[in-house]
Amino acid sequence: MEIDPRRLRVLWAVARRGGVAAAAPLLHLTPSAVSQQIAQLEREVGVAVLDRGPRGVTLTEAGRHLAATGERIEAELTEARRAISALTGRVAGPVTIAAFPTAIAHLVVPAVRALAAEHPAIDPRVLELEGESALRELTTGTVDVLIDDSEPGTLPQPAGTESVALLSDPYRVVVPTAWQRTPRGLADLAQDPWIVGPPGSAVRRALDRLADEHGFRPLAAHECLEFPAVLALVAAGLGAALVPALALAGGLPPGAAATGLSALGGRYLSAMHRAYRTGASPAVAVTVTALMAAGRAVTPVVNGGVATP
């Protein structure tokens, strides 16, 4: 019995993604081509590897054994790439990085520039994606590196992945300069309107926590997720906002100023990536290293504070 190991990788992708159509983008094939590879594998082994039902496909017992073999082959190939990279000093291949807009602007872009200079054979792809959907794409193979800004413990650490700290990002309170007053504490803003994040967002949870600690309920006048839009609303005099310091790294728009309020907590940015027995693939490893360097470069800006009104 001759088994093409490339077809085992196709089967492993189908197992990871939960279906033929879902596996196709991961393999850079059409769904028809994936089906053809699976059919050929079944002819090679003489037994069905997929149960095809009206609700989709599931692996047979033989399919599960072969998919596990495909996973081991992929791990060995990753180790081979690592060994060759160590011998030649050359790292190559595609890397997909999923992140949210602020991280893309201040961490991913500098990291991609560094990769272009130091490892030109790496082909980075940036995907704006976060939260549970991004985590799903990481664990099923579409995403190689995920930048997460959740509070500790919000997102689970899936088996087969590792996380590396990138940045501690403290929260700041930003107010309109038109208010012409400097709050001495968060309670001084209890009667003022706020621009809040959507329910479930990190900044919304942080603001609710801080308001509880100071004995008031924020007046949610406007709801907005993206920080450039939040700052524009603050600059227009429409309310105060709680934002991470990284969102202020590019400066504040005229009409908005950061207060000197402290002890507000913060978020923690990390890079989550898949890892095999001996660690990440060479392309992922150097990408994470570049992201860590970008985090170190922006840390003085983030922790240095901004001018008060």
- pTM (2 d.p.): 0.75
Alpha carbons 147 and 169: distance in angstroms, whole number: 13
Q: Provide the sign of the torsion angle of the four alpha carbons 284, 132, 126, 9, taken in this order.
A: positive
Alpha carbons 204 and 198: distance in angstroms, whole number: 6
Alpha carbons 230 and 233: distance in angstroms, whole number: 5
Nearest CA to 149 out of 161, 135, 139, 160 is that of: 135
Nearest CA to 10 out of 91, 65, 67, 79 is that of: 67
Kindly give the confidence (pLDDT) of every residue in the chain, 309 residues in length, as a single tens digit, with 9 standing for 90 and above.
688 888 888 888 888 888 888 888 777 788 888 888 888 888 888 899 888 877 778 889 998 889 888 888 877 877 777 777 777 778 888 899 999 999 999 999 999 999 999 999 999 999 999 888 888 888 877 899 999 886 554 566 777 788 899 999 999 999 999 999 989 999 999 999 999 999 988 899 999 999 999 999 999 999 998 999 999 999 999 999 999 999 998 889 999 999 999 889 888 899 999 877 667 888 999 999 999 999 999 998 888 755 444
The DSSP code sequence of the chain is ----HHHHHHHHHHHHHTSHHHHHHHHTS-HHHHHHHHHHHHHHHTS--EEEETTEEEE-HHHHHHHHHHHHHHHHHHHHHHHHHHHH----EEEEEEE-HHHIIIIIHHHHHHHHHH-TTEEEEEEE--HHHHHHHHHHTS-SEEEE-PPTTSS---TTEEEEEEEEEEEEEEEEGGG----SSGGGGTTSEEEEPPTTSHHHHHHHHHHHHTT---EEEEE--SHHHHHHHHHTTS-EEEEEGGGGTT-PPTTEEE-------EEEEEEEEE-BTTBS-HHHHHHHHHHHHHHHHHHHHHHT-----
Which residues sit opposite 274 in a β-bridge?
A: 161
Give backbone dihedrals phi and psi of 239, rounded to 5 degrees, phi first: 160, 170
